[in-house]
Structures are given as C-alpha cells and as structure tokens.
Amino acid sequence: MKLKCPLYALTLLISSSMLFVVQPMVAKMVQPVLGGTPAVWNTAMVFFQALLLGGYLYAHITTKWLGTRRQAVMHLVVLAVGLAFLPIAFEPPADAARLANPTLWLLATLFVGVGWPFFVISTSAPLLQKWFSTIDHPAAPDPYHLYAASNVGSVFALIAYPFLIEPRIGLAWQAHLWMVAYITLCISVAVCAVILWKSPPRQQEESGSPPASAVPLTWPRRLKWILWAFIPSSMMLGVTTFITTDVAPMPMLWIPPLTIYIFSFIIVFARKTYVPIKVWFSLFPFFFLALGTLFVTSIASGLLGFATVINFLGLFVFCMVFHGLLARDRPHTDDLTEFYLLMSVGGVLGGVFNALIAPVVFDRLLEYSVLLIIAGLVFPAKVFAERAVRISTAISLALCLLFVLGYMLFIADAGAMAWLATLITALLFLPIYAALVRPALAPLGFALLGLLITVQQAQPIPEELHYERSFFATHQVLVDPIHSYHTIYHGHTNHGRQPLVDGVLINEPGAYHNRQGPLGQVFDELATRHTRHPVAVVGLGAGAIAAYSRPGQRMDFYEIDPVVKKIAENPEWFTYLAECAHECPVILGDGRLQLQRAQDHSYELIIMDAYSSTAVPVHLLTVEAIASYFEKLRDDGILAFQISNRFINLEPPLTKAAHSLDLAVLVQMESRYGYNMERQGHAQQPSDWVLMARSEEAFGGLRENPRWKTYEPRPNLRVWTDDYANVLEVLRFFERY
C-alpha cells in the first residue's frame, strides 16, 4: 500500500514532463517554416491547450460512463495506438509562399504530427487522480496533491529543456528519446491500472468532511472556475508576446512565462500552504497598477529589463491569486474530472482569445490591457474588506501616481497628448481610491482603470503614419518631423529608415544600411567589378537596400510577411522599391526555403538581413543553410549576414559554421567599437556584419580595410545545424567585452 501513491505520483511526473518537453521541441521543429515569429509559440500553445481540453473531456466522459476499472482497459488501448505516430517528425510545405493562412497550416500540421500522442498523455492528470480516488488508500479522499506532483514534472521539463536538453541533444535524438519516454509511460500507466484492478474500492467516509470544498456545483460556480483559469492563461501568452517581440523569438524565452504559470499550480495544490493566499491578494493591487503604469507611460521600450521583471512578477502574482482561488474552491472527488475539464476550458479560452481572436478583432496589441479589465472585474470584491489589501491598494496607488507624474515631468516629451493621457490616468485612479471606502465597488474601479489603459493603448500617436498587425508581427510606420525620416518598427525595434529632405523622401539608405557603414563598404567593393550580377536580400524591412541597385542589375527581396511587403511598396511611406534602378521583385515566403528555388550560381551577393536587432530565426544560421546559400552564389560571390543584436552575439556560431565549410570570413562589429559615432543625423545607425566567401580574393579591397577583421572560431563551440543549435551560449549576458 505504501508504494501506491508514489507510483501514481511518478507516473504523473513522467507524463507531465513529456508534455512540457514536447511543446518547445515541436515548436522548434515547425518554427523555420514560419520565420521564427512569436505567433508560432502562441498558436502552438492554443493547439496544446485544446488537446488538453480534449484529454480532460475524454477523462470526464469515459470515467462517468464506464467507471474507473473498465475505463482503464480502454485507456491502455488508446495509449498503445499512440505508438503508431512516433517518432515525431514534420515536413515543410512544398511552397512556403502559399501559406495564405499560417495559423490553419500550423494547427493542421501539429494535429497530424503530434496530435494523438499529446492527447493521450494529456489525460493523465485527471485520469490517474480519478483512478487513485477510488482505491483503498488513506490519501484517496483528497488526490489533488497528485496534481502538484504532476506540475513538478512540468516545471522540471521546462527548466531542463533550454539548459540541459536543447544545448546537448539534437532534434532528431530528442524525438527518439521522447518515443522511449512514451513507451516507459505506457508501462507505468499499465502498472497503475493493475493497482487499480487489484485494490478494493474505497469506502465512503462516514464522518468528517474531505479537504476539498463540498459546496454543491452550480453554474455560477462553474463559470467562476472558467474565468479564474482564463485570466492566468491569457496573461501568460500576453507576457510571452511581450518578451519574444522585444527580446528574441526563441524557445528559451517562450519557457519562463509557462514555467511561472505551471509553478503556481504546484504551490496552490500542495498539501501544505507555505504562503497564505491573503498575501497574494495584497500584492494583486500593486502589480495590477504597476502593469497599468508600464502600459500608460510606454516606458517598457526604454527599460526593457525592468519591464520584463515586472511582467514576470506580475504574471506570478496573478497566477497565484486566480489559481489559488481555484484550489481553494476545488470540489469533492466525485466532481474531480469536471473540475479539471472546466479549468481546461478556461485555459483554452485564454489561448484562443490571445492567439486567434485578438489578432482579428484588434489592429494593435490590446489583448494584454483588455485582460486587466477582466481581471479587475473577476477579483473578489469581499477581499477589499480586509485591511491589508486596502492598505496595499492605497500605497500602490500613491506610488504609481508618483511614477507617472515623474515620468511625464523628467522623461517623456511634454506633448499635449502625453499630458492629457497623464491627466486622464490620474482622474481614473480616483474610482479605485473611492472603492477603498466601499469595497464592493473596488473591482469596478480596477476594471475602469483597465478600460482607460485599453483606450489609451488603442489611440495612435501623432507621429504615426500606419499601424498593422499580422500573424508574424506588429508593424508601425512613424515620421520624425524633427530629424526628418520615416521609420518602420517591429514592436520597439527599428527595421528600416528613410530620410526626408524638405518633406520629400530621398533614395538614400538609412539606419543599419547607410553608405558609410559595413554594407555600404561591401557595395563600394562590388562596384569595382567590371560585370555586375543579381543580388538577393532576405528580409525586406523598408526596402532600403534597393537604394544600392544599379541599372540593369536585378535585386530579389525575400520576405515572409505580406504586411511588410505592403508597407515597403507604399510610396507614401517608403520609396526605395519604387525608385529601384532596375527590377526589385519581392518574393513572399521563408527566405531559406524560397532561395532554394532560385537559379544556382546566379547571385554575386546574398544579404541575410531577416534577423536584425532582436529576431533570430536560427534556421537561417545553420551550416546546412549556409551551404545552400553558396549553391546560389557565383564563385566570387559574397554572403553577408547582418548580426546587429542587443542580446545575442551571432558572430561565434557563424564563424564556426564558416570554418567547418572551409570558407573565408571577415567581421565588422561596428556597434561594439563605435566606428560610426561621428556620423551626423539620426537616420544612420551602427551595425554588425559577417561576410563569407569561398576565398579571400572575393573580398577584394575589404581585406585592406582595418575595420574588417578575421575571427578565429571558438574552439569549444559546437557547430549549429538544422538538428542542433544552442542560443544560450551566445547570449551577451554571459560575455565580457
């Protein structure tokens, strides 16, 4: 009998570990087709949440109809069928440019590739707890502690993937090891089924009450469960979008918000309460107002590290509050599977809202601020009757008001719109203060604040010419009337800039592509050649590189996002493509996949500019990718990578790959050494570049330029391949300059 509970807990730990290893693994497998956009992860999360809901529904219905012992026989069969879908593998579409609806393609691909195994494993949490609740064991009346054990496995997997698995094991081996784990899980579940069959049924308690709530189920109570599960799920994806848009869209950064989300379940469903839920209730007003302040002031773009910490801490507090409410209101074991089913419904609705509904309904990233409205309304009003919560609210209110005022006085531009936003914000804080006198109105006060934040976020700023979101990103075109240029932004990241002279756009490359910078030096060298050949550019941005085109020379642009193409082709915003000296066609689709369709040995220069600043689609940097680019380059062709990045140093993996292919390399880290600091005007920015060629002779005079240097590859760095890449080891956080 002593081993029954540990065996069930171990099985749940294995199943949950598998669930949360396969999610980043699968997202990494399909990421190359869609250019590494954060939407890949959000859409994948919706898919996994939907399958989790299906698994919980299956557990609820089959145990109700068949009882636990007959259901166990059926489940072993369903589990065995999953072996037919292993190992997990995906095939890219024949033509990535035809992905008119990337979301539907991704959902269909995930369903076929990993749907059945994930569905079966997702049933483990409610199913095994239900089995355990019916056996003769002292802990059977309250099996919810097993859910905490399940989430321990989830957190372990989420931490292990970026730090242990991804840096050491390639994707192919990951898929095969996951298949071995699946077989192990089948055996473990079978052992649990044998324990179930051999154990006498649990006798119902004659006296006392179970630890879980015995309040009868009503539809208002069920609705509360759904809403309490909805808020953390939606917020988790909102934080994920923020961090992967402004830092980098890679699995390592997808994982922290999900880890926080899962970790909160461990705490709230544990047998012992270490921190009373009243503490989290007291912290809720502070982080609600802190997040609202970040939205209103837009200071996140300037203090990215600070904003990231506030978002992570806020997510943790929100999860502890609303998951804590769920745990405190958990029902008797008779309704266990329905409880988990409704929790899953809320989780799926949160994912659907962020990944599927918001991109269609909102033309901006408003889902995070809309969530604050919902959270304010759902937060229990009776909590504000407690003195600690009211004191916390008052202190938080004062601090946030001081912060907003200080920001507008000393940091922000003193424009009329900014001061008006501050005034309105200050006025809307008043309902919260008034609610402190009447706690029943407090949720309404917080909801009103969330409404103001949403309205303020929805308003275009005076300098805005255009704002549009797509599956791949949010894009904003701004005009700077003081420094005279148009800029296209992805989130807060500059992806192209064109100067203005007397209100007229001039055909002069700006930002990272200016003529005095590394790219301009490359084109100056190519201009010395007697014969010119086509150029390929992966990553369109504003189309600034088209300014380097020459009469009779074609320049092919490869761009994955149709919205970027639309913006670059609009002469009201940018004129680079319209003033192209010859032909500058824009080819839609993932750059690497579409380049494979080009004629071999046709380009004299291929520019990889698809991951400037924060976005790092790793599949464009692998040794296989580089080898495929050289198939399209002439013998004297040059491959140029722009590697400007605030957080990741891409020079080591690129030089390592070049060394493994016996290629010549030149590197110019302009932003690090400040070569461009003497330039006039804000339309120019320093940038970092890596050049590769079959021989040093192809670089011509660049070899004599002291700004271009040769780099020896790191001896302990493993070559990045399509199967293996370790972004963790090239984070600038771990470097010393």
Q: What is the pLDDT of residues 338-365, one digit of tens each?
A: 898 999 999 999 988 988 888 888 888 8
Highest-confidence range of 430-434, 493-497, 716-720, by mean pLDDT?
A: 716-720
Q: β-pairing, 586-588 with 603-608?
A: unpaired
In this predicted structure, the answer to whether residue 318 has a pLDDT above a threshold of 90 is yes
Give residue 24's pLDDT.
Answer: 83
C-alpha to C-alpha distances, 737 to 110, 214, 411, 487, 732, nearest whole angstrom: 42, 61, 30, 31, 9
Q: What's the per-residue H, E or C state across 687-732?
A: CEEEEEECCHHHHHHHHHCCCCECCCCCCCCCCCCCCCCCHHHHEH
Helix (H, G, I), strand (E, B) or coil at 478: strand
Largest pairwise CA distance in the chain: 96
Per the model's pLDDT, the better-predicted residue between 615 and 714 turns out to be 714
Can you tell me the mean pLDDT for 486-508? 85
* Average predicted confidence (pLDDT) for the chain: 83
Q: Which residues contact 63 (CB under 8 A, 6 or more apart)?
A: 71, 127, 130, 337
Nearest Cα to Cα of residue 22 among 86, 101, 96, 76: 86
Could you give the CA distance from residue 157 to residue 145 in angstroms, rounded to a whole number?
19
Strand-by-strand arrangement of the 464-469 sheet: 464-469, 474-480, 485-490, 493-501, 504-505
Cα 428 from chain centroid (whole Å): 32
Per the model's pLDDT, the better-predicted residue between 228 and 482 turns out to be 228
Tokens representing residue 715 in the block: 């001896």
Cα 214 from chain centroid (whole Å): 39
Looking at residue 589, the DSSP 8-state letter turns out to be S
Can you tell me the mean pLDDT for 457-465? 83
CB 432 within 8 A of CB 442: yes
Confidence band, pLDDT 50/70/90 cuts, at residue 227: very high
Helix (H, G, I), strand (E, B) or coil at 409: helix
Could you give the CA distance from residue 33 to residue 141 in angstroms, rounded to a whole number?
48
133: β partners: none
Q: Which residues contact 129 (CB under 8 A, 6 or more apart)?
A: 12, 143, 144, 146, 147, 336
Give residue 611's pLDDT.
Answer: 62
Summarize pLDDT for 677-696 with one digit per residue, the tens. 444 444 578 889 999 999 99
Tokens representing residue 290 in the block: 């802190």
In this predicted structure, the answer to whether residue 49 has a pLDDT above a threshold of 70 is yes
Give residue 424's pLDDT.
Answer: 56
Q: Residue ranges of the alpha helices (H) in 269-361?
A: 277-297, 304-328, 336-352, 358-361
Give residue 44's pLDDT.
Answer: 81
In this predicted structure, the answer to whether residue 622 has a pLDDT above a threshold of 60 is yes
Per the model's pLDDT, the better-predicted residue between 493 and 36 turns out to be 493
Nearest Cα to Cα of residue 548 among 677, 502, 557: 557
Which pTM value belongs to this model? 0.80
Give residue 457's pLDDT.
Answer: 80
C-alpha to C-alpha distances, 675 to 522, 678, 690, nearest whole angstrom: 16, 8, 16
Summarize pLDDT for 289-303 with one digit per residue, the tens. 888 877 776 655 556
CB 176 within 8 A of CB 111: no
Give residue 151's pLDDT.
Answer: 80
Give residue 444's pLDDT.
Answer: 83
**Looking up tokens 């369109």, which residue turns up?**
540
Could you give the CA distance from residue 56 to residue 345 in angstroms, rounded to a whole number?
9
Looking at residue 432, the DSSP 8-state letter turns out to be H
Can you tell me the mean pLDDT for 38-42? 68
Helix (H, G, I), strand (E, B) or coil at 531: coil
Summarize pLDDT for 258-296 with one digit per residue, the tens. 889 988 988 888 777 778 888 999 999 889 988 887 777
Q: What is the CB neighbour count within 10 angstroms for residue 313?
A: 16
CB 579 within 8 A of CB 507: yes
In this predicted structure, the answer to whether residue 179 has a pLDDT above a threshold of 90 is yes
Per the model's pLDDT, the better-predicted residue between 429 and 576 turns out to be 576
Helix (H, G, I), strand (E, B) or coil at 364: coil
Q: In this prediction, what percent of the chain has a pLDDT beyond 70?
A: 84
Q: At residue 702, what are phi and psi to the nearest 5 degrees?
A: -60, -25
Tokens representing residue 520 in the block: 């301009």
In this predicted structure, the answer to whether residue 717 has a pLDDT above a threshold of 70 is yes
For residue 167, whether the previous peptide bond is cis, meaning omega lies within 30 degrees of 0, is no
Helix (H, G, I), strand (E, B) or coil at 435: helix
Summarize pLDDT for 63-106 with one digit per residue, the tens. 889 888 899 999 999 999 999 999 998 876 665 555 657 778 88
In this predicted structure, the answer to whether residue 676 has a pLDDT above a threshold of 60 is no
Nearest Cα to Cα of residue 657 among 684, 630, 686: 630
Can you tell me the mean pLDDT for 493-518? 87
CB 670 within 8 A of CB 638: no
Least confident range from 77-91, 401-415, 444-458, 489-503: namely 401-415
Helix (H, G, I), strand (E, B) or coil at 633: strand
Give residue 399's pLDDT.
Answer: 78
Q: Where are the beta strands (DSSP E) in 61-199?
A: none
One DSSP character per residue, 166-198 reads: TTTS-HHHHHHHHHHHHHHHHHHHHHHHHHHHH
Give residue 384's pLDDT.
Answer: 83
Hey, what domains does the chain have and what are their CATH numbers? 7-94+103-200+211-269+330-379 (1.20.1250.20), 513-734 (3.40.50.150)
Summarize pLDDT for 95-111 with one digit per residue, the tens. 555 565 777 888 888 89
Give residue 671's pLDDT.
Answer: 72
In this predicted structure, the answer to whether residue 454 has a pLDDT above a threshold of 70 is yes
One DSSP character per residue, 423-435 reads: HHHHHHHHHHHHH
In this predicted structure, the answer to whether residue 206 has a pLDDT above a threshold of 50 is no
Give residue 443's pLDDT.
Answer: 85
The HSE-up count of residue 460 (CA atoms within 13 Å, CB side) is 13
The HSE-up count of residue 437 (CA atoms within 13 Å, CB side) is 4
